[in-house]
Structures are given as C-alpha cells and as structure tokens.
Structure 1
C-alpha cells in the first residue's frame, strides 16, 4: 500500500465520505492513519495518544483493511469490543467494500457450556429465587442462540449467580473429551476466529492467550501480522494479572460442587466423595472468614502470619489432601471424575505457589469480596515478558489511547511495557476547549482525607449542580465518599440521583441519558469508556486527584522496589498513574464539537502542590477559575 493511500481514504471524495453520512476529514485522523500505515510497512512499534474526537478507531482500522493484513484488534472492555465489532467495523467494511471474514472472540466465561447445562436440575440447591428465575431465562435462550453469548440473554444481570453454573472455566472444561465438543459455542467461536482476517478481542483474552502459549499447550487467538491494542493505558495492569498467579476460594467451592455432580452421575456408591466435597467447601468458606468480615485488599505475607489465617489455610490443604485420596479410588470410573482429579492436582500446586511468599520480584496480596477471598502473586514489572513478544519477526504493533502520555512524554508507558524502540505520536483533540468548557478548582475545600468530606463537598456544590441545565457526573475516588455525596444530594437536590451499584452500568447510563437532568454519582468504573454526548452531560465533578491508596499492596511493593533501585517511587509510579487516570475522568465531559460543559476538581493539591502543574499540563487547555460564582456565569450560557 503506497504512502498516499491514507489521505485518499479520508478525503472529501474518498470511500469513507461517500458511504458514511456526515463524515468529514480530520487532519489528526489522517496523520494517525499515515503513521499506522508506516508501522504496518516497517514494523517499528507505534504508540499514539489520540485525543477525544480524533476518530482513532477509523484511523487504525482503515489502513489495516486496505493493506489486507491479518490483524488482531484488542480493546479495553467487552462493551468497547462489541461497539467496534457491531458498529465501527461493519461501517468501514461497507465503505471500503471489504469482504474478508471478521470475527468477535470473547473469553470462555461469556459462552454457554452445553455440558454443564445438561447436568443442571431445575431445582439447584442454594440458588435464590432470583437465581432460579435467571436459570429459566437461560433455558429459554439456549435452544434459540447460534453464538451462545450470555450477553445476548434478555434481562440477565451481568453478575447473575447462575452464570458460573452455565459457563465453563479452564478448571472444569472437559475439552475434547466432552460429549458436546462438536457443538460447543466456545469451540465454534475460536474456529471462526482462527479463519478470520480481522479478529476483535479484549485485553483480558489477549493476555490469557499469551499465558496459555507460555505453557506450551496451544493458543486462544490466532497468530496475526498486526496487533492493534486500543485503550492501551490499561495494558500494564492487566498484563500483571496474567503473568502472575491468582487463586480464589471460589475455585475450591466450584470444585466441591462439581464433585457432587460427578458423584451423582458416575459414583453413586462413593459416599466418601460427598463427605470430601462438603469438607472442601466448608474449609474454603472458613478461609474467607479468617480474613475478616469486611471487603478489601491487603498484603498476603502479614496476613498468613496471623494464627487464624494460617490455621484455616492448613485445614484447606488437609481437605484437598482428603479429596485427593478419595478421588484416586474413583479414577477410570468416568470423565467428570477424572477431570476433577486433574483440577485438584492443579489447584493444590497453585495454592502452594501463591502462598510461598519469599520469592523476589513479586507482590503477594489478597482481596476479599463478600463471599470469597482471592490470593495473588503479581510480577512488579511485565516489561521483560512483553518485550519478548514485541521481538517477534514479521509483526506490526500499534498501541493507542486517549491517555498514554504524561505531559508530552511517553516514557512511563514505554518503560512499563518494555518498548525500547518505538515511534510515538501525540495528537491533540480537535475540540475547542477554550470555547466549550471551563475548569474550576474551588477555594476553601476540606482536607482530602478529612472526616465526612463527601457530605461537605456535596453541600458546597448543591447550588452549582442546580444551575447546570443538563446532567452531571459526580466521580469519586472511594465508595465512602460516593455514598456520602449521594445521601446529601438526594436530600437537597430536586433531581434524579443515580448511584453506581444500585443498577447495572448499561441501565444506569440509559436512565441518565433519558432523564437529561440527572446526577450520576459513581466511582472507578465510570471514569473511562463512557460516551455521553450533548446536553445530557454538562458537568463533571471529580472529588480528588486519583492517587492509588497508599495501602494498596501492589503499589507498596512497587514503591519498595523503586526504593531498592534508588528511584523516586512517587515520580516513577504514583504520579504518572494518577495523571493518566485523571485524564480519563476529564475525558467524559466533552465528547463532540457541539458539547459544552464545566469541570470541577475539588482538590486543592492541584493548585498548591508543585506536582499540580504536572496534572494541569496533561489536561486540555480549559480556561480556569477558582470561583464557583464565576462558573455560574458560564453555566447560564448552556441553556
């Protein structure tokens, strides 16, 4: 493909303009497309920060389709993955008359498992009435689906308790020994992906594939000539999850449940098997309780030193040993029993690895939800492993996001991924922030960690939020502040107040958009990947600069590692990560050339600490004020 192809694709008389209503060439989009084209040709990795409104999706897809290369496109979430596959890719393919096969591939937890569904009774012990209702939805859906994608099941909650029972995991999948292998939805999806020219995946599946390849046992996604990683700012953190090890008490409970199913089908005379399963489940639950009643995260080393945790872990290991002895007596009696035996061996080995906490170069930590505890061993750096991937011959790599640089430097991102030789490009948003927006850091703010801070902030901003003609986001850095803010706003503001967690994300956003004047109070998951255009969103409040909590176990391990190497951990780790996260939150406000709105950041450190200037330099050039009254004047023009 020649170097003039990108301008012709994006010109006013080009194929995109002819086929897409309202398409207008954008200089930054053409520049990015030309850079992608060059990277496809010379195979030097390309890192592009493309500001909101650049049109980066078309800028990387169009050159790849025109070049006819086999490509894997990886995005940051399943929602973005589906948007790209169902909306952006078909639009471009029609415009460019592209007729090669394309495929969408998700992780196995997104597909119905025919084997596990066949084993389920209508009356599943322990299921709530809601869970039983969800099971009926799944049963009605199963005969009609061709994809088996659980995301297509009408009315099924994202976190339904039925999902682990009707989908498979690496642990419980029977593979080629399964009686439903020929009809398996996951196998069919992977086959389509292997045969396709363009495959759309997400980052979790991308790194799961790398981890599987490391074991030498196959692959999950096809080899490609080009890899495009969108929302690339998420890569270092997600990569750490897959290049380390994690184990959850949920895995032991699911094994116990599957042991009971296997006994019922293949070993009715083995009463000991039921006792072993009961003991395993009981000791798994006891391990969760040993970590305390609250949810949260912490360092694993000191936790294992506590007597109650050490004893609970010892009892869990004993029950795994008991299961091992009983299952040995059942070997050869059926596929499910044999598969449970193999899972048991793997889980015992993994448990030994994640609780042997002396190895250097890793962070050992735990996290607790209401029902389960996860034990984790995460590498402090993925640069060495990922740089080996970048060294593959004959492959082009493109990394892009709206937030990769700190100021004008890509050093933080490149160092995290081991990108020593690459080309970088920073493209500003085409939006006129000086006309479309205002930034306010109000005076007289409470201390960032003061008691009842959320209530103080909400009370001080009620009159400002009342003046916003459209809707507002109130983005918080903790659940405690989120709940305090919501409580005050519901008492004092005559608007619909929506709160993260009270419904699923998609329905909350639908309700927010339809209302037009609502206030959505949320934490982390609403800081990125949200696209609300027009008057429905005219104000974004951010409660605090998003530094990671100092007691975050992975952060503290990385800071210790920096200290040992004589580096400044704050400048090397904490500050760049916080800047990129803030840029994501700020990016929710202006999503279109017609959007107008105000950004309020209620953290004095932005103006009275030296590093505040680093944050400001990384944000769009919004006119700034410290007066909420001054902000009211701009808000009055938004009617």
Structure 2
C-alpha cells in the first residue's frame, strides 16, 4: 500500500481508490492486478499535478507507467496534453489506452489526436497529383489509386488509416502538404482541410495527444496549432521522455537543405507554367536555382565521392573554403532573383506569394550560414548521395524548456523506462533544464534474477579490431541455434549491421540450419517484425505486409534472427517466447567525431568536468538499458542478454554499465549461456 502524505489532497485519494483491488480499473478489467510500483508512481504524479510542478519519473518495464500518468491526469479534471515519441505510439495512446482509462473512470472527456501536417492527406495536392504527378513505378500508381479511393470516405485524413502504405512511399510527399507548400487560407480546399480540422478538434478537446517533434516544431515555427493549445493546458505529459532532447535539438535549430531548394524550384516552375506562362522565364529561373543547389552540394562534399548513407562533416572542414563560400553566395543570389520574379506576379495566383516567402526564407538561411555562428550553437553538414544539409543547432533544450516551464503554472510530467543511471536522473534533467525538478525512480516488478541471464565474454576481439564483426556473428549463430532462432542482434553502426547479417546467413547455410536472417533495410520495420513473429508461430496478420501469404511461409518454429541497428533498440515489444536472446555487438558509446558530440564534450571540459564519465558513459548506460529492455516484456518472459564487448568485463566503467541494467544473473562462460538457452527451448517445447 502506498503511504499517504499528511498534505495529500483529494486527487491522491481518488488515484488510490482507482488503483485499488476493487477500484474502477479492476471493475473494468477482470485481468487487472494491483501493483505497488504503479500506485506509487501514480500518486507521485498526482501530487505533482495538485502542486502544478514538474516531476521526472523513471519507471522500469512492467510498472504500467501509461495508466500511472493517465489516471491522475484525467481525474484532475483539467485540460491535458500528452506527447510521445512516435506517431505509432500516438495512435496506441489515442485508440487504445486513453479510451480504456476514460471508460473505466467514467470520465466524459473529449479526446483528440494531432499530428504534423505531413501525416494528413492534402486534398489540393491530391488533385494536383491526379493531374500532373510523374510516378516512378506501378507500385506508386497503385498506392495513389488506393489513396484516391480512401479519400472519398476518410473523416480524419490521417494516412495511418491506410494499412500497408509504406512510410517511404514516394506518393506520400505528393499528397501531403508541408510548411513550405501549404497555401493556407488561400487554398481552394481550405474549408475541407484535414489539417485544420484536426487543429480545431484539438483546441476543443479535453485531452490532446501529440508527439515530441510536433511540440518542438511549434516552439520553433509557431504554426502547428500548439501555440493556441499549450497556454490552455493544465497538465503536460511527455512519455518516452528520453527522446525529448534529441527531438528538440533537431527542431530548435536552422537547416538549409539543397533538396529544399530543388523542390522549391520545381514548385515555382509548375506554378509559373500553370498560372503565369510567358510573364517570366520560369524554366531558366528554376534551372538556375537547381544548378546553384547542386553546386552547393558538390562544394560541401569536397573530395568525397560515392557517398553511401549520410555522413556528418565538421563545419570548420568546409566553411573556410573559397568554393564553399562562393557556392553559398551564388545560391543566395539565385534565390533573391527568384523571389523578385515571384513578387512581380503575386496578384496572379495564391501560389506566388507563398513561393515568394519560401524563396526569401531560403535566401535568409544562406545568409545565416555565411555569417559566424553564435556561441552556444554548433554547426555541421550532412552529406548524402542526393543532397547536402547545413545545420545549426543548440546543444540541448535547456533554454526552450525553461521558457515553457516559467510561462504559466502547470504540471509537467516527464517519464520513461530509461532516464539516467543516477538518483537525480541527471542524464535527462541537466540537458532538459530540469535540475530543480522532483525525480523518482520506480523499479521493474519483474523477477530478473530468476528469469534473465547476462553474458559478457572476456576473451573476445575488441570492438576496434577487424575480427570483431565476424566473432559477433559466430557467437550469435551458436546462440540462435541453441534458442531455435528467437534472437535479436542489435548493432551500433549500419556497417556492422551488414557485415554481421551476411556472416550469419553464410553460417546458417553452411550448417544447414533453417533459421532465416532478417536484416534492417531489407523491408519496412513493420514487415520485418511480422516476419520474425510468424517464423516463431506467433499469430500475426500478414495480409498487407508484402510478404508471401501464410500458405507459402516456412513452417512455424524454424526460427529467425533479426539484425537491426538504432531503430530496433527501442519501441519494439515482443512478449512471450518469440524473443529469448538479445545480442548487442558493442557498448553504445556516442560517436566521438560527431560534431554535436564534440561540441558537448568541449562545453563539459570548459567547465572542468570529466566528459568521458559524465557524457560518454552516461549515454552508453541509457542506450544499453534501452537495448536490453527488448528482452523481458512480461512477468513470465525469460531470456539471455549478451554484450559482445570485453571492455564491459575488464574496464572500471563496466561495473557502472552493468549496474545500470536490470538485475539479471551473470553467467561466466559461453557454455553456461548456451545451456540456459537450451533449457528455455526445452521447457517451452514441453508446455
């Protein structure tokens, strides 16, 4: 039973009643069980809500933190804003968790879901796509046809309603709007605009679900509808708060992308030919902007050729070069010329004033990057095969969050399963400007010593040795063979991902093992997860996944290994026996040559602090907890965590990293690890 404080108000008592064994939650769900950790967290949040103050709460897997914050937030009878890390988590909150809690508590609250404009169908751009879009292949043609059919019946316009629509589909940018190309109230489809409808519903609702990117996009741009919403809210909740700082940093800075310029040129050409043919030489203007953008990309790349993926370059490596400065100046001049041409025809059609604003804004960004950066910001250049992005960013979100916390009294709730490895949760609270906030750590109720083992091989190649990826693959192959698949291999780099994936395939083929290797990038994340579950006999619908139908799938139980990088370290929930082994290739330290990492290290060192202990080890501890968290998802789950990095066993900081993990029992040898997996497989087969 959670202890009452002498100064507790009626909200805490209402929360205790709701979570009691015969309370509202138990009456609504016959499977409900009272959990002391969940009630403790819910009461702490209720006190923060009553006092209108911030609280930072780390809640281990299985605590039930979603209900622990929703129940006091709804019972407080004020307006609530919930922000989470991804659109899929938004959907889960809005469609499942919130309605369940609302109905259980019998609270007649109105719910709303608000995403960024890129998530909603734009009726005007759909019409344009019908008339003029050039689609790359028959799959895109089919996708557009599906969207057109769905557009006739959808009420929300949220593209998430369309099952099987790949997030990477080239059709999505053609049928959604962006801040750059939205015509606003001048749009012929404005009255039926799905984005504006979603914003109106959010302003009228009692509980609104957003995501971190949308929250910070509004702080930076003031155009997502949050500016009107936030002042009227009594409780703000950030779930998956460990992603908050990086989401904020990406939006609170300034970016100039050559792809933005090329898109602008193409939109200008299309509008010019449609509405003002012959009034200006639109083809020449667009071609000049595109050439200037491509020249800037070449100057930014410098000697780099055949770039794969995205590379991050230090600003100082390019900023002083004459060809880079000249390319920026030339781009600025072409954008100013385009802006003048667009201003001259502004009265002809509503497209032109918006295009003129885009040109002026892009030109303003080129001038920003021609000047010296302010202290307290960091600049870098992202280079890919298609574009260059010049980025200026703050080092953290301290200033932005403090401004919000001081703006008006309200309760601010920050929660996640991983927020640091000390009692003050300083990994999160310091960069978020929450040094004075109350902190709380609630451990997982799971019996980790009985159900989980951790193995760190001592005699193993070091991560910087060429033999390391092959050794990881060899060990992972043995583990997966013992477990019958049921294995995730989580890598810290995309390069290791490919090397380990290839080596695993070769080993399984050579040994004749029917274990499939699923590698990130071979298909969308959702499809890979569906395939992994199907290989282990889990019930899952493959109707829209793009894989063969169940009749042509290999027999269940033949197993699979999924090899994934950053995107699979968190947000993946595989309860039960389908996942019983997680292999991590090496300790997830931040890349030391990343410009943002370098700038943060310089700041710590300038303050006389130990950057390795306070930044690198702290970051690794949090990332390691995230990866390890994939293993045990329910009270009955069992499994093995393997960290293929001998530094964790022999270096002094290894003890700190081990202590950051759930209290799994350590095994000393490879044979003990294999024996544990064989035992789990045999016991699973016997049930």
Helix, strand or coil for the counterpart of 1:275? helix
Whether 1:509 and 2:518 are equivalent positions in the alignment is no
Helix, strand or coil for the counterpart of 1:535? coil
User: Which of 397, 405, 414 is equivalent to 2:420?
Assistant: 405
Deviation digits for residues 220-274 of structure 1 (CA, Å, limit 9, x no counterpart) = 7673100010111111111112221122222112211211221132102235122
558 and 634 in structure 1: CA distance in 2 versus 1, 3 angstrom threshold: same
Helix, strand or coil for the counterpart of 1:421? coil
CA distance in 2, matches of 1:591, 1:119: 46
CA distance in 2, matches of 1:149, 1:378: 30
User: Which of 393, 396, 399 is equivalent to 1:384?
Assistant: 399
The aligned counterpart of 2:82 is 73
Deviation digits for residues 29-61 of structure 1 (CA, Å, limit 9, x no counterpart) = 000110111011012211110000000000000
The aligned counterpart of 1:431 is 446
Offset at residue 71 of structure 1 (A): 0.4
Contact 2:24–2:104 under 8 Å retained in 1:
yes
CA distance in 2, matches of 1:156, 1:285: 31
User: Which of 585, 601, 621 is equivalent to 1:543?
Assistant: 585
Contact 1:212–1:218 under 8 Å retained in 2:
no
Contact 2:268–2:282 under 8 Å retained in 1:
yes
CA distance in 1, matches of 2:253, 2:191: 33
CA distance in 2, matches of 1:212, 1:550: 31
What's the TM-score, normalizing by structure 1?
Answer: 0.96
468 and 58 in structure 1: CA distance in 2 versus 1, 3 angstrom threshold: same
The aligned counterpart of 2:169 is 160
CA distance in 1, matches of 2:89, 2:135: 34
User: Which of 266, 270, 273 is equivalent to 1:261?
Assistant: 270
CA distance in 2, matches of 1:225, 1:17: 27
Superposition CA RMSD, Å: 2.0
Whether 1:223 and 2:265 are equivalent positions in the alignment is no
The aligned counterpart of 2:470 is 455
Unaligned runs of 5+ in 1: none
The aligned counterpart of 2:631 is 589
The aligned counterpart of 1:524 is 566
24 and 124 in structure 1: CA distance in 2 versus 1, 3 angstrom threshold: same
Offset at residue 122 of structure 1 (A): 4.7
Helix, strand or coil for the counterpart of 1:599? strand
User: Which of 311, 335, 350 is equivalent to 1:335?
Assistant: 350
Offset at residue 148 of structure 1 (A): 1.0
User: Which of 487, 493, 507 is equivalent to 1:472?
Assistant: 487
CA distance in 2, matches of 1:465, 1:542: 13
CA distance in 2, matches of 1:430, 1:379: 38
CA distance in 2, matches of 1:506, 1:222: 37
Helix, strand or coil for the counterpart of 1:28? helix
User: Which of 46, 54, 59 is equivalent to 2:63?
Assistant: 54
The aligned counterpart of 1:148 is 157
Q: Which structure 2 residues correspond to residues 532-571 of structure 1 after superposition, within 5 A? A: 532-571=574-613
CA distance in 1, matches of 2:222, 2:477: 54
What's the TM-score, normalizing by structure 2?
Answer: 0.90
Offset at residue 618 of structure 1 (A): 1.0
Contact 1:193–1:222 under 8 Å retained in 2:
no
In terms of mean alpha carbon deviation, does 294-303 or 280-289 score higher? Answer: 280-289
Whether 1:600 and 2:609 are equivalent positions in the alignment is no
Helix, strand or coil for the counterpart of 1:391? helix
User: Which of 648, 658, 676 is equivalent to 1:634?
Assistant: 676
Contact 1:70–1:224 under 8 Å retained in 2:
yes
CA distance in 2, matches of 1:215, 1:135: 26
In terms of mean alpha carbon deviation, does 324-333 or 491-500 score higher? Answer: 324-333
289 and 626 in structure 1: CA distance in 2 versus 1, 3 angstrom threshold: farther
Contact 1:52–1:587 under 8 Å retained in 2:
yes
Offset at residue 21 of structure 1 (A): 3.5
Unaligned runs of 5+ in 2: 1-9, 537-558, 682-687
CA distance in 2, matches of 1:116, 1:392: 38
Deviation digits for residues 467-513 of structure 1 (CA, Å, limit 9, x no counterpart) = 01451100000111111111011111220111111111111111111
Deviation digits for residues 273-306 of structure 1 (CA, Å, limit 9, x no counterpart) = 2211122123323333441431311112322334
CA distance in 1, matches of 2:645, 2:469: 12
CA distance in 2, matches of 1:314, 1:354: 10
Q: Which structure 2 residues correspond to residues 79-90 of structure 1 after superposition, within 5 A? A: 79-90=88-99
The aligned counterpart of 2:378 is 363
Offset at residue 218 of structure 1 (A): 4.9
Deviation digits for residues 410-455 of structure 1 (CA, Å, limit 9, x no counterpart) = 1232111111322111111000001111000013211211125212
In terms of mean alpha carbon deviation, does 395-404 or 468-477 score higher? Answer: 468-477
Q: Which structure 2 residues correspond to residues 461-500 of structure 1 after superposition, within 5 A? A: 461-469=476-484, 471-493=486-508, 494=513, 495-500=515-520
100 and 216 in structure 1: CA distance in 2 versus 1, 3 angstrom threshold: closer
CA distance in 2, matches of 1:301, 1:173: 35
The aligned counterpart of 2:543 is none
CA distance in 1, matches of 2:142, 2:385: 22
CA distance in 1, matches of 2:163, 2:418: 34
Offset at residue 329 of structure 1 (A): 2.7
CA distance in 1, matches of 2:485, 2:18: 37
In terms of mean alpha carbon deviation, does 126-135 or 423-432 score higher? Answer: 126-135
CA distance in 1, matches of 2:125, 2:164: 21
Whether 1:250 and 2:259 are equivalent positions in the alignment is yes
In terms of mean alpha carbon deviation, does 327-336 or 25-34 score higher? Answer: 327-336
CA distance in 1, matches of 2:264, 2:245: 31
Helix, strand or coil for the counterpart of 2:577? helix
Contact 2:254–2:391 under 8 Å retained in 1:
yes
67 and 366 in structure 1: CA distance in 2 versus 1, 3 angstrom threshold: same
Helix, strand or coil for the counterpart of 2:412? strand
User: Which of 138, 151, 168 is equivalent to 2:147?
Assistant: 138
Deviation digits for residues 331-374 of structure 1 (CA, Å, limit 9, x no counterpart) = 21111012101111111112222443432111101212332222
Helix, strand or coil for the counterpart of 1:534? coil
User: Which of 325, 346, 358 is equivalent to 2:340?
Assistant: 325
The aligned counterpart of 2:552 is none
In terms of mean alpha carbon deviation, does 445-454 or 74-83 score higher? Answer: 445-454
Contact 2:135–2:141 under 8 Å retained in 1:
no
CA distance in 1, matches of 2:382, 2:228: 29
Q: Which structure 2 residues correspond to residues 141-290 of structure 1 after superposition, within 5 A? A: 141-213=150-222, 218-219=227-228, 223-290=232-299
In terms of mean alpha carbon deviation, does 447-456 or 173-182 score higher? Answer: 447-456
